[in-house]
Amino acid sequence: IPLGLMVCISGVSGSGKSTLVHDVLYNALMSRRGAAVPKPELDSIEGDDKLSEIILVDQSPLGRTPRSNPVTYIKAFDGIREVFASVPEAKKRNFTAGHFSFNIPGGRCETCQGDGTITVEMQFLADVELVCEECHGTRFKPAILEVRYKGKNIHEVLQMTVKEALVFFAGVPSVAHKLRVLDEVGLGYLRLGQSATTLSGGEAQRVRLAAHMAHAATSQTLFIFDEPTTGLHFDDIAKLLTAFNRLIGLGATVLVIEHNLDVLKSADWIIDLGPEGGDAGGYVVAAGPPEGIAACPESYTGKFLTRYFSSELARA
């Protein structure tokens, strides 16, 4: 697996992609760093001393409460709260940034504890979520909602999409920078305060990617993704590839389990597993740049890449 490049692991279903990346590689790297993970069966691993950090960007939920959302995850909400705390009306009332948080007591609605909803347990049926009758879903006390920045209160700001907020906070670099990264990974349509529990696995994965792009020093970091294009429009796939290239430009390595041809043809290196699934899988069928995989007659991925390249030439 070459470092400093975008490397794709491809192959038919059941060929061993997830086993190789998750069960062997990731667990081996984390085990050598003292993490409590299942110890994989392998003879040796070399070159991991060149990696400073291993980050698995998976599709698990970002949070399990309505208070978890994209802006809290990427830490953009800290800057937004500071903006509201700096408004003259907030200073006059001695409101701090903490008053504009729905995670701690102070300015949040205590009836719903900042959730905006009340969960009613239905015994033998699924729980029902109702809009909080005290704050009407705004999450905050009335006094907090009276504080406005550029004509908007904190609830109205949380209802904005990322794209709308980018324009609104254009004069606040600390906020705009973090929001811009969300837009760059194709999440400009999300509302700032959208509950993390409503995000798809692919959206959660890209929020994690945005968080690392906004904060982490990515040099010598290995990022691992498992089918990140699931459910994406091809325009969003292009944005995702741009984000990958940005990470690589910062010195990171991007390792992707993927079958999407738009991603595979953009890879620097492909490791194709197979030849079949199950007991007939688990072997390296071919390894090399996309053109090299396309030239391999034993590779199913190669056959699809050949057709893909041919159709691209026909369109040109």
pLDDT tens for 60-119 read: 888 877 889 999 999 999 999 999 999 999 999 999 999 999 999 999 999 999 999 998
pLDDT tens for 25-51 read: 999 999 999 999 998 888 999 999 999
Which token pair is 113?
């504890």
Write down the number of H helices and E strands in the chain: 14, 8
Contact between residue 230 and residue 201 where contact means Cβ atoms under 8 Å apart = yes
* Termini Cα distance of the chain: 32
Residue type at 128? V
- In this predicted model, which residue has the larger pLDDT, 235 or 299? 299
pLDDT-based confidence at residue 217 (cuts at 50, 70, 90): low
* pLDDT at residue 216, rounded to an integer: 62
Helices (H), the chain: 17-18, 27-31, 70-73, 76-85, 88-92, 142-145, 154-158, 162-168, 173-184, 201-215, 234-249, 261-264, 290-294, 300-315
Sheet holding 6-11, edge to edge: 53-57, 221-226, 253-257, 6-11, 269-274, 283-288
The closest of 56, 4, 11 to 278, measured between CA atoms, is 11
pLDDT tens for 150-188 read: 999 999 999 999 999 999 999 999 999 999 999 988 899
Contact between residue 244 and residue 260 where contact means Cβ atoms under 8 Å apart = no
313: pLDDT strictly greater than 80: no
Fold match between domain 6-59+200-315 and domain 70-196: no
Place of tokens 């984000």: 243
Residue type at 298? E
What percentage of residues in the chain have a pLDDT greater than 70? 99
Q: What single DSSP character describes residue 269?
A: E
Sorted by where each begins, the domain ranges of the chain are 6-59+200-315, 70-196
127: pLDDT strictly greater than 90: no
282: pLDDT strictly greater than 80: yes
CATH number of this structure's domain 70-196: 1.20.1580.10
Weakest-pLDDT range from 6-20, 66-80, 199-213, 244-258: 199-213
287: pLDDT strictly greater than 70: yes
Pairing of strands 221-226, 53-57: parallel
Query: Which residues, 6+ apart, have CB-to-CB distance to 154 below 8 Å?
Result: 80, 81, 84, 100, 140, 144, 145, 147
315: pLDDT strictly greater than 80: no
Other Cβ atoms less than 10 A from the Cβ of 131: the count is 13
CATH architecture of 6-59+200-315: 3-Layer(aba) Sandwich (3.40)
Mean pLDDT of the chain: 93
pLDDT-based confidence at residue 311 (cuts at 50, 70, 90): confident
DSSP codes, 76-123: HHHHHHHHHHTSHHHHHTT--GGGG-SSSTTTB-TTTTTSSEEEE--T
C-alpha distances out from residue 265 to 20, 207, 225, Å: 21, 24, 17
- Cα angle value 282/295/300 (rounded, 5°): 40
